[in-house]
Structure 1
C-alpha cells in the first residue's frame, strides 16, 4: 500500500469510528431515559431535556466546527472534538446532579457535532476525486447505521449491565484511542486564511441557531396551534431576526474585506447551493420517518413493545448498503442521478407501508427498500453537490448542509406524530361505524354460551345509550374489566384490538404517505438543480448519464 493509500486508510478508519460513536449517542440515550429520570428523580418532561440539549448542542457546533476546521486544520479540530466528546461523556456518567448532567450533555454534543463534518471535509480536500464518492458513502453509512441502531444498542447494554452510566463511559477509552491514533496517523489539511476570525458573527450565528432550534423542538402535534405559544413563536421569530442580522453583518464584513466571515456570502448568494440545502432539509425529513418504525411494528403488526426496536435492524443494514451504493452511483452516473434514485427508492419504500405492509415479511421488504433509499442520499451525493467548484470553505458548506438536515429532522417528527394522533383520535368514529360488524364476526367464530350472549346484549344496550360516538381508552378498559365471561372478554378484547389497529393504520398511513411525498419533492428539487450546475466543472470520473 502506498503512503497516500495508508494515509487514506487511517483517515477513513478514524473518522468512521468517530462518526459512529458520536451518531450513536444521539439515539442511545432514548433507551435509558426512564432509568436516568428515576436516578435524578426528575419528571419525564424535565428528563427529555437530556435529548433536547444534545440536539441544540449539535446544531450550534456544526457551522462553528466546519469553519474552524477549514481555518485551523481538520486534524487539529478532529482531535479537539474527540477530546471534548470524551470529556463530556465522562462528565455525564459521573454527574452527581441533574443540572451537571445536562451541562455535560451539552459539552458532549459540542464535541460530537463536528466529527461528521470534519471527516467529510477532510475526504473532499485530500482524496482523489475519483475515490471521494466511495469514501463519503462509507462515512455516511456509518452515520446512518449508528443513528438508527442507537436505541437498540442502548437497550442491549442496559439489559446486560443494568447500569446507565456504561452507555457513556464506554465512549471514554474509544475517545482516548482515537486521539492517540489521530495524532500519529492523521495528515493535516486546511484552507489557510489570514483574515481575522469572525467572533461577532460566530456569536450571532450560535444565538440564531439556539433560538430557532429551541423553538422548533417545542412544536407539538397540533402544529399550527403551537405557534400561538410563546416558547415556539418567540424563539423561532428571534432566530429568524438573528439570521437576518447575521446576513447583514456578514455582507458588510465581506465588503470591508477585514475578516473571515463565519457564513461566507459567496455561498449564500448561489441559488445552486441554496437548492442543495433544501434537498438536505428534505432528506432530514425523510430520515425522521425512521423514528416511527418501532411504533408501526407495535401498533400495526402487533409486535411486543420490548421487541419492536429490534425490527429497526433490517432498515439499518439496508441504509448502510444504500450509502455504499450511493458512493458508487455518484462515481458512475453523477450526483444528480444518485439523488433522483434516492428519492424514487425512498418514496416507493415508504409508500409500501400503507399500500402493502400487513405481515412481518412484507415489513422487512418495505423497510429495507426505504432504508436503501435513505442510505443512498446520506453520504456522497449531497456532499459532492454542496462543495463542487469550491476551493475553500468546504467544511463551512458541509456544516450548513448538515444544519439544514438537522432542521428537517426536528420539524418532521412533529408533523408525523400529528398524523398518528389524528388516527387514534378517530377511534370514536371507528367504534361507531366499524365495531359492531367486527364484534359480530368475532362472536360468530367464538361459539359463546347463552349467559355470555345475554351479557353481550347488556353491553350493547349500554353502548347504545352513550351514542357510541366517543370511546376513551379508560372506558374500554373499564368495560372489559366488568365482563364476567372469560370467552366473551377475549372476544371483546380482540375486537377492540382490531379497532385500535385500524386507527393505527390510518395514522401511520398518513405519516408514511407524507414521507413518500418528501421523496417526490427530492426528485423535483434534483431536476431543478441539474441545469444550475452547468457552469460548474464536474469531475470526469462521474461518468456519463445524468450528472
Structure 2
C-alpha cells in the first residue's frame, strides 16, 4: 500500500505536465456536461416525443445525482483510494455518456443521466486533490491555476458546442464526444498515478447519514429546478419540498456531528478559513452564475440575438481569465490570497454596475467589453479562494474538503440561477405594469405613436400589439439593469467574508496543518 499522500514526492516536470492535461481534461468533460444539454433540449424533447417541460428532467436528473455524490468524495476516497476512485469515476462517466446517447426514450435518458451525475461526483474534487499532490508545495498556486482554467472555459463552451453538435450532427453526439476524451484522461491518469495510491481503510457505511443526504439534497435540487415553473411558494409541491429539505438538513447536521464515521466531514466548518472561504466562494459563484444565465436569455429573447451570436458575445469572458490564471498561480505563494480575491470581487462589482446601465440600443461591442473585463475577476476568484479554503489541511483531508466546498458551490450556483431568473421576471412584471400605465390610448404620446403606426398601414389592433411588444422588451431590459445593480452590491458585501479568514503566511494550499490558525 502507498504511503500517506502528504509524503509522496512531486512528479517530474514532464510527467507533471501530462498529469495536469489528463486531470484537467476529465474536469473539463465533467463541467461541460452540466451545461451542454441546455441548448439541445428542444432537439431531445422533439426526438423522444415529449414536451420541453418534461425534457428539463434531463438537466435536473444529472444535477440532483451529482449534488448528492460530490460531498461523498472524502468517504469514498478513504474506502477505495483516490487514484482508483478517480479513474473508475471517469470510466463509468464515459459508459454513462454512451448510454445517454443510445437512449430511445425519456425514461432511459433520465436513468442514464442519473448514473452519469452520480459517478461524476468525485471527479472534480479528486482532480483538484491529485493535481496538488503532483506539484511541489511552492508551485501549488500554479496547479490550482491550471485546474481552474478548465472550470472557467467549460461552462462557456458547453452551450456553444452543444448547439453546434445538435444542429450539425444530432443530439446524442453531445454525449458521445465524452468517449475519446474520457478514456484518454483515464488511461493517462492511471499510468502516471497508479503507484501513488492513497491509503485505504474499511470504514463502516453511515447508512442514516447517506439516506438523510439523499433526501434533503434531492428535495432541495428539485425545488430549485421546478420553483420558477411552479411559481415558487404559491405551489404546495414547492412548499412540501422546502419543508422536506429543511427538516432533512437539520437532521443530517445533527446526525453527522455525532456520528463516529460520518459520510460528510462537517468538522471542516470549525476552521475559519474553510467556513468563510466557502461562504465567499459559493456565494460569489452563485451571484456570478445567476448573471451568466440571465445575460444570454435577455440577448436571445428580447435583443434579437441568435443562440450562436449570444454565445459569441459572451464567450470573451474567458480570454483574460485564461491569460491571467497562470500569472496569478505564479504570484500566489508570495502574496496574500485575500488581496487577490478582493480584486476579483471589486472587478465583479464594477462589471455588474457597467451592465446595470444597459439599454435596448446597445451594440454587440457594449456587451463584449464588460465580458472581457470580467475575465480579470475570474482569474482572481477561484485560485486564491480555493487556496484559502484548503489552507492548513493535510493532504489526506483535501478530498473531503474539496468535495464539501464544491458541493456548496454547485448548490449555490443552482440557487443563483433560480433566484436571479425569478427576480428578473418579477422585476420585469413590475416595470411592465408601470410602463403600460403610461401608454394608455388616452395618453397623448401613445396616441401619436399609434397614429404613426396606422399611417404606415397597421390597423389599431396590430399597432397595439406592436406597442405591447416594445413595452415587454423595455420592461425586461430595465429588469436586467436591476439584476446587475443588485449583483454589484452583493459582490461588494462579500468582501467582508474574505477578510474574516486568517492569513496563510504565503503557504500554498495543502501545506501542513500549522499553515493557518
TM-score interval (norm. to shorter): 0.7 to 0.9
- Of 431-440 and 266-275, more deviation after overlay is shown by 431-440
Given candidates 92, 98, 105, the residue that maps to 1:97 is 105
Please point out which of 51, 58, 75 is paired with 1:67. Answer: 75
Q: Which runs of 5+ in 2 are unaligned?
A: 1-9, 511-516
1:372 equivalent in structure 2: 376
Distance 2:195 2:289 in 1: 32
**Residue 396 of structure 1: CA displacement?**
1.0
Aligned partners of 1:437, 1:333: CA distance in 2, in Å? 63
Whether the aligned pair in 1 keeps the contact of 2:257 and 2:267 (CA below 8 Å) is: no
Once residues 294 and 227 of structure 1 are traced to their aligned partners in structure 2, the CA distance between those partners, rounded to angstroms, is 27
Alignment match, 2:125: 117
Q: What is the 5 A alignment of 1:394-413?
A: 394-413=398-417
* Contact 2:328–2:380 (Cα < 8 Å) also in 1: yes
**What is the Cα deviation at residue 322 of structure 1?**
5.2
Cα separation, 1, equivalents of 2:255 and 2:249: 10
**Which residue in the other structure is 2:3 paired with?**
none
Unpaired stretches in structure 1, ≥5 consecutive residues: 460-477, 482-491
Q: Do the aligned residues in 1 keep the contact of 2:314 with 2:368 (CA within 8 Å)?
A: no
C-alpha contact (below 8 Å) 1:339/1:376 kept by paired residues: yes
- Counterpart Cα distance in 1 of 2:74 and 2:52: 34
Count of matched residue pairs = 494
Superposition pairs for residues 255-294 of structure 1, below 5 Å?
259=261, 261-285=262-286, 286-294=288-296
Write the distance in 2 (CA, Å) between the matches of 1:93 and 1:305. Answer: 23
* Alpha-carbon distance in structure 1 between the residues aligned to 2:330 and 2:303: 35
2:160 is aligned to 152
- SS for the counterpart of 1:524 is helix
1:248 aligns with 2:254: yes
1:105-504 map, 5 Å = 105-161=113-169, 163-187=170-194, 189=196, 192=199, 194=201, 196-200=203-207, 201-220=209-228, 226-254=232-260, 259=261, 261-285=262-286, 286-298=288-300, 301-304=303-306, 307-321=309-323, 323-355=325-357, 358-378=362-382, 380-391=383-394, 392-425=396-429, 426-433=431-438, 452=455, 459=460, 478-480=461-463, 493=466, 498-504=470-476
Q: Is the 8 A contact 2:132 2:143 kept in 1?
A: no
Q: Which sits farther off after the overlay, 21-30 or 283-292?
A: 283-292
- Taking a change above 3 Å as real, the CA distance of residues 386 and 5 of structure 1, as seen in their structure-2 partners, is same
- CA-CA distance at 1:441 after TM superposition: 7.9
Partner residue, 2:513? none
Q: Deviations over 1:369-426 (max 9, x none)?
A: 2243134323x22221122111132111111111111121111222212332134323
Given candidates 77, 84, 104, the residue that maps to 1:76 is 84
Bigger-Rg structure (1/2): 1
Cα–Cα, structure 1 residues 422 and 246, in superposed 2: closer, same or farther, change >3 Å? closer
Question: Offset of 1:268 from its aligned partner?
Answer: 3.0
Deviation of residue 54 (structure 1)? 0.9
Given that residues 62 and 114 in structure 2 are in contact (C-alpha distance below 8 angstroms), is that contact kept between their aligned partners in structure 1?
A: yes
Query: Is 1:86 aligned to residue 69 of structure 2?
Result: no
TM-score in terms of structure 1 length? 0.82
Bigger mean CA offset, 369-378 vs 46-55: 369-378
| Distance in 2 of aligned mates of 1:308 and 1:252 | 50
1:48 aligned onto 2:56: yes
1:135, 1:22 → 2: CA distance? 19
What are the Cα deviations for residues 7-57 of structure 1, in whole angstroms up to 9, with x where unaligned? 321221101111111111111111211111111111122110000011111
Indicate the structure whose relative CO is greater, using CA pairs within 8 Å and at least 6 residues apart: 2
Q: Pick closer, same or farther for the CA change 1:537–1:340 going to 2, 3 Å.
A: closer
Structure 1 vs Structure 2 CA RMSD: 3.1
Task: Tell me how far apart the structure 2 counterparts of residues 384 and 452 of structure 1 sit (CA, whole Å).
Answer: 65
